[in-house]
Amino acid sequence: MRMFNCIRRCILDESGVTAIEYAIIGVAVSVITLAMFSENSALPSALVSAITVIETNINAAGN
């Protein structure tokens, strides 16, 4: 009977659910970030282009 009560309490305890949810969200964010910055993505080249434009404008303003 004690074992049954222990298992029942573990199943009904929802305090660990939040930690699992945060872990799943963290994994999802990591996967999305890796997908965005992979070699086949347009994001890295777009960021490099934007930084180049900003650098060019700053250099032009300084001259």
Domains identified in the chain, total number: 1
**Residue ranges making up the domain that contains 43:** 2-62
| Chain centre distance of CA 62 | 38
- Rounded to an integer, what distance in angstroms lies between the CA atom of residue 49 and that of residue 34? 20
Q: What is the pTM of this model?
A: 0.49
Helix (H) or strand (E) holding 27: helix 15-36
Q: What is the pLDDT of residues 12-25, one digit of tens each?
A: 776 666 777 888 99
User: What percent of the chain shows pLDDT beyond 70?
Assistant: 92
